Chain A
């Protein structure tokens, strides 16, 4: 697990993170004029109050800290760039220090090739490679929370290529250990592949006139450890499983709630600003579709088919026979002045929950409205109303939640992605 919970065995990690932080403080004070080659040190402060728990969400009811991060990055020499991002989180009184990014990247490979190694955010989908603090909503869409544990970062290697064309065209492939995307293994007996996740992605993009820009992406993720384990029939096993799931849905976890062998993602972003001037007003529309398929082991599949034929009446849930989960969202964010922006997002999740030998359909629909006040480019206070309705989840959570959040950047804040 990458979650370094505060336990004696992880103490060394905690201490070293603290040491790293204290070592960085003088740098932070000095780093007032970071240039392209000098070290960049930045900290993000994220705190919130949320009125209710939300399914699979990182933020829990009450006051809490979101992703409070300390990032340190620099060109190491003319060949390499490096970045370290440490994230501090508090959940139910328990503090965690996570290393979210610790990677090196090549800077001088010829012909548009780049290699990145270490721990980093996967480049699948649109939102995944963006940091949470640049989001326009307090939580990631359900697709990300369900299938990628919020945002998917992992230890691995990426090779990417950008074509020398006027139409932006990039493609890449990644290999990851895939620990956080492993299927649930309630007995700890399963032998997982140590290199579990392979991805491939491509993105296209361009401008339409001076005012509009777009990007379209397709990604594929193969998860060698995504197949479910057939569940045992004894009562004890089932209890264990229920417990674990309850924790997954409720509590804090960077692991995916639903896994499968194959994941397909399509994403689209469109941005517009009058005259292409992003200072005053601009609009961002984005949409993503996820399909996670092939999670049933063959014997489960067969039993399932039989189920379907024999007692269709008995199982009235729609989810039967579906060997895939899917989720999508559409979002629109408009900045109507440098100080104010508002966003609206709607998303659906359609998943299958393993229950003994059959699967129960689950459905989650979420609508979020967020209003943000930006005192400057570096400080945001956000109020979000979210409405969710679900079918088939164990937790009967309230339909509406209000979240009040601040996100602020200290120090030299790096450039944002499109």
Chain B
């Protein structure tokens, strides 16, 4: 029996050593664990804290309103030091459940490791009186903020503050990265502004208010929505009314986000001979959109291509 005892001691000793080493290494290289609700904030975190462990709960192919509070997300949130979400009630249907189940007090309050992007900028379309008969509207304003270059910069600044608060030792590194990001972002923004000027006055029919901030920034007018009411899928009666509207001949395209169903848009496109543009909702929404910069580049590209083609046709 003595050899067995020896073996146990040996194993326990090894376990002990590896345990100590593990906790030491965790202290030496404390890696910030970031959980984001949407991929655009994972991309922003990638810019501002590239050495962090970053996980996005959703992809650009998924509706961020309707997410299952699934086990994998609970497990990820349990380990998170920082949770970044759009806020303005976008995640009201799943985030509270994740917080409840993850039992991680660190990411429950915005005083600590919870960050709502919408709290740091002015949202568009705030509503004083919200009623369910209006559909799935958010009284705190439109939460799909990430296509506003100006707002994203404000969010980046606020997020850096949050990172510094949580990981003060790296303050300098975070500030440097913010500086670098701001510089590149501002340069890109003026380029986008210039490119976007070609699109000014374009009229589109779009699905949901997913691109509210993009249209606001570019100067595109969304004259109608494929959804009869926010959150409700297109009905045939509503599509018929859109077709009537399209016949006025001032609309250039139908814009749909990467996660949205194409059937209504395709039907309308066929009847009205308008083109359908599928824009990536976020980073990862198509092959070209790999980070925030290429996302903007790609979205503007797709719109300009179609707009110019339309102009040529009418000439």
Contacts and interface: CB of A to CB of B under 8 A. Distances in A.
B67 A278 contact: yes
A204 to B, nearest CB: 8
A95 interface: no
A163 B105 CA distance: 14
A36 B70 contact: no
Given A35-B89, A275-B61, A167 B75 contact: yes
A339 interface: yes
Most buried by B among A110, A210, A276: A276
Size category, B interface: 35 or more
A81 B100 contact: yes
Interface in A14-36: 32-36
B272 interface: no
B189 interface: no
Contacts of A205: 70-72, 74-75
B68 A213 contact: yes
Interface stretch (A228-236, A242-250, A410-418): A410-418
B283 to A, nearest CB: 15
A33 B139 contact: yes
Provide the main secondary structure of the chain B interface: loop
A278 B69 contact: no
A277 B62 contact: yes
B79 A418 contact: no
Given A81-B100, A275-B259, A416 B69 contact: yes
Contacts, number: 139
A276 B136 CA distance: 21
Given A32-B130, A166-B76, A417 B71 contact: no
Interface string B113-151: 000000000000000011110011001100000000000
Interface string B52-75: 000000110111011111111011
A32 B139 CA distance: 8
Contacts of B153: none
Interface residues of A, number: 55
Interface string A251-281: 0000000000000000000010001111110
B264 to A, nearest CB: 11
Contacts of A32: 129-131, 139
Contacts of A164: 78-79
A186 B70 CA distance: 44
B219 interface: no
Interface stretch (B7-15, B90-98, B196-204): B90-98
Most buried by B among A210, A378, A414, A415: A415
B108 interface: yes
Nearest to B71: A205
Contact of B68 (A278, A280, A376): A278
A1 interface: no
Interface in A170-216: 170, 203-207, 210, 213-215
A275 B281 CA distance: 14
A277 B57 CA distance: 12
A337 B234 CA distance: 11
B157 interface: no
Most buried by A among B59, B95, B132: B132
6 contacts: A162-B103, A166-B75, A170-B74, A205-B72, A280-B261, A415-B96
Given A81-B100, A415-B97, 17 more contacts: A32-B129, A78-B109, A107-B105, A108-B105, A109-B105, A112-B104, A168-B75, A203-B71, A205-B70, A277-B63, A277-B259, A279-B260, A338-B233, A376-B136, A415-B93, A416-B93, A417-B97
Interface of B: 58-59, 61-63, 65-72, 74-76, 78-79, 89, 92-97, 99-105, 108-109, 129-132, 135-136, 139-140, 231-233, 259-261
